[in-house]
Amino acid sequence: MKTVTFFILSLVSSLVTSMYAQKSFDVTVKGKGDAVFLFPGFGCTGELWNDTVFELSKTHECHIFTFAGFGDVAPIEMPWFSTIKEEIIVYTKSNKISKPTLIGHSLGGTLSYWLASSEPDLFKKVIAVDALPCSAALMIPNYNGEKIPYDNPQSKMMLQMDDATFKGMNAQQVQFMCKNQEKQKVILEMINKADRKTYVNGYMDMLNLDLREEISKIKIPVIILAATFPDRATVEKTYQAQFEKLPAVKINYAENAAHFVMYDQPEWFMKNLIENLN
């Protein structure tokens, strides 16, 4: 009888473990204090936040995420982005993490808006770094939420691209997204290590997400630390248009900073981050 009971308990334990075992991300936890979740941007790993965590972990419990298909985290099946979002909700609830603040760069910021609109009472606040509710609207004129299939011509071309061409394309993009030349090397190392299928199809997941209406459901404070390169007036107009349904959003603009604000204006970034955390 004891053997049977032990077997049942073991089975239940393994089922519970599998239920709460997230496969769409890895998390490293550093520091003690109020919890913050740090989400990297597309193609990047938790290493993006190394300088930030060095300071924040003195006063906060930092949960540093790396998503599936990036760094050393194994890829998962598509859809990729929605799985990450749902498993972060499970991670927060199952670990009984009380009201963490969401800090996200780019895709990580978009993910933060999505989480805050889906679970209005689960999180404390959102601090997004150069992140929009709808990335596709930047690229497609008069975008109205049309879905882009995974097997589109551009994606097929990128999946078939040889490594040298892929890395060359990444190098060109990173030069535009970060003005700090030393940090460009760090970003490239992260992006070039990405699983190609995740990089291509995961990007489609991001483009197919339009939160411009959903953000009206957000109840918690939202603060954005925005880049201004190459033109501040255009950037301000874009944010105003995309956040029409969340007029209470607070936006701080970093002068002379491209997309990787934390690398281009590190002192400004840390000052604004800490002020808005407290």
Q: pLDDT digit string (tens) for 182-206?
A: 999 999 999 999 999 999 999 999 9
Establish if 19 belongs to a structural domain: no
In a domain, 125, yes or no: yes
- Tell me whether residue 138 is in a domain: yes
Q: Residue 101 pairs with which residues in a beta bridge?
A: 36
57 pLDDT above the threshold of 90: yes
Q: With bands split at pLDDT 50, 70 and 90, how would you rate the model's confidence at 43? A: very high
| Mean pLDDT within 35-63 | 98
pLDDT digits (tens, 9 = 90+) for 70-81: 999 999 999 999
Is position 243 within any domain?
yes
> Is residue 176 a part of any domain in this protein?
yes
What's the structural domain count of the chain?
A: 1
Residue 7 belongs to some domain of the structure: no
Residue 15 included in any domain: no
Cα(261)–Cα(252) distance, rounded to whole angstroms?
A: 11
Range of the domain at 45: 27-277
What is the percentage of the chain residues whose pLDDT exceeds 70?
A: 92
Q: pLDDT-based confidence at 51, cuts 50/70/90?
A: very high
pLDDT over 60 (residue 159): yes
Pull the structure tokens for residue 187: 């970003």
Look at residue 3 in the predicted model and tell me its pLDDT: 44
CATH code, domain with 74: 3.40.50.1820
Geometric angle at alpha carbon 237, from 231 and 241, rounded to 5°? 145
Nearest C-alpha neighbor of 63 from the set 106, 24, 34: 34
Say if CB 67 and CB 24 are below 8 A apart.
Answer: yes
Given a cut of 90, whether residue 7 has pLDDT beyond it is no
CA 129 to mean position of chain CA atoms: 9
Q: What's the confidence (pLDDT) of residue 237? A: 96
Bridge-partner residues for 127, per DSSP?
103, 223
- pLDDT band, residue 218 (cuts 50/70/90): very high
Integer Cα distance of 230 and 141 in angstroms:
19
- Locate 174 and state its tokens: 């990173």
Q: What's residue 203's pLDDT?
A: 95
Contacts of 220 (CB under 8 A, 6+ apart): 116, 120, 123, 124, 125, 126
Q: Is the pLDDT of residue 4 over 70?
A: no
- Would residue 9 count as lying in a domain? no
Q: Within 61-195, where are the H helices?
A: 81-94, 107-118, 136-139, 153-160, 163-177, 181-192
Q: CB-based burial of residue 65 (10 Å sphere; 0-12 exposed, 13-18 middle, 19+ buried)?
A: buried
Positive or negative: CA dihedral 274, 215, 25, 189: negative
pLDDT tens per residue, range 13-25: 333 333 446 799 9
pLDDT of 12 > 70? The answer is no
